[in-house]
Structure 1
Amino acid sequence: MPDLHWIIPVARWSSWPAAATAAPDIGFIEPIVRRRLSTLSRVALKVAHDCVTQDDIRVVFASRHGELRRTTDILRAISAGEPVSPTAFSLSVLNAMTGVFGIARGDRSAASAISAGAETLGYALLEAYAQYTAQPGSPVLLVYADEPADPAYGAIEDEVQGGAIAILLGGEAAMGQLVCTLAGHPDNTSGAGKTSHTTDAAAALPAESFATQSQALLHCLETGKPAVWQGAGATWHWRWHERAA
């Protein structure tokens, strides 16, 4: 796999920590809908709302497990012979958050939902970038939200950390430019492992490694320092362009 290298113009970003004890404020959602939402959808909507303007915005939503906990509850109800709530079923799909968000904003813009295992966030960043470059005049909102799977599924390799991150891609790039690199391992015989060449000095800074992609990306966003996550087949790097430091 050849290396991939792309730069995201960050207009705004927001996050919600996994360890937060307070409930996220999603007062922009109608109460009748709000009380039916899961914790996952609530934190996703919170960070998404933090980043948007009044303009129509395309959304890329990403989550490894999505509403798996809600789905698991539905399966348990079926197993016990209990009725399943149609509302619970409709909100159990991966893209439930995008539907709720679009309805609340009255926004009919396109929305995508991505799940790609432990590399979900990285590929969502690539998808958001691809959509933005295809139509630079229209902003793209990336929203990542996840939570660990129900214990009923046992141990999961490279399990996610809870929480949410949203990044608004826009030409104004008020926050700066985020450099993303997907590099193959040196022992990959398909030709991967070649080094991406960049000219800014920030590329030479040492990068700290993290257990999950969300932890690595959040560290980069918050501190301005490079961060790395290594998966089974590739290594993901994130750093701010030196002009954003």
Structure 2
Amino acid sequence: MVVDIFIPCFIDQIFPETAWNMIKVLEKAGCTVNYNPEQTCCGQPAFNAGHWDECKAVGEKFIHDFRTDRYIVSPSASCVGMVKNYYPEMFHNSVLHNEYKGIQRHIFELSDFLVNVLKVTNLGSKLEGVATYHDSCSGLREVGIRQEPRELLKNVAGLELREMADTETCCGFGGTFSVKYEPIAVGMAEQKILNANATGANILISTDASCLMHLGSYLQKQGKNIRVMHLADVLASGL
């Protein structure tokens, strides 16, 4: 199976190793991976800031950059949620109606694609440690991902997964929220880390690099000994 990949801005600019690890995981699962170097952004930052005209221009480019008849896989639940849930508000009954509907049907977050499309839950990954998983708001509420990452993680050899309290509560990032309301965002990160620390975990995992960037920055500033890892990085371990 040939699949296209969409690499979001955060991962392209800050966590490029996560993109490479997703490719490694997809190839291990039997896929041939195609990357269009012309791709840029899905438009989510502009959309969240209320700049809908600018978002629509970016969205039009996104639609033109991807084929509508092939699976598109991304390591970001928030970007997938943007395309699935908010492109209809911009492109429904437009000249790009059929194109956006095709992309909407074919775009998947990595764990969703592996478990529900490829029916793969064990890649032979190996990672020693105790981990806890953070449900990102976008993954849980906009894409409906909850069991998929856990199914994959429970099959990582050497990894013990422990659930933290209030795992479904926001970490405080929320895109521009963390900039506009920094004290609240920091307080939410603090509570999330307290819950993670209470499990005894030394690894905090999520499907969204933006959440991990927010939580990782807080951990670093507080000198906490918990490592943040994207799900793709975990699954690529030992392959």
Q: TM-score, normalised by structure 2?
A: 0.31
Greater share of strand: 1
Q: TM-score, normalised by structure 1?
A: 0.31
Greater share of helix: 2
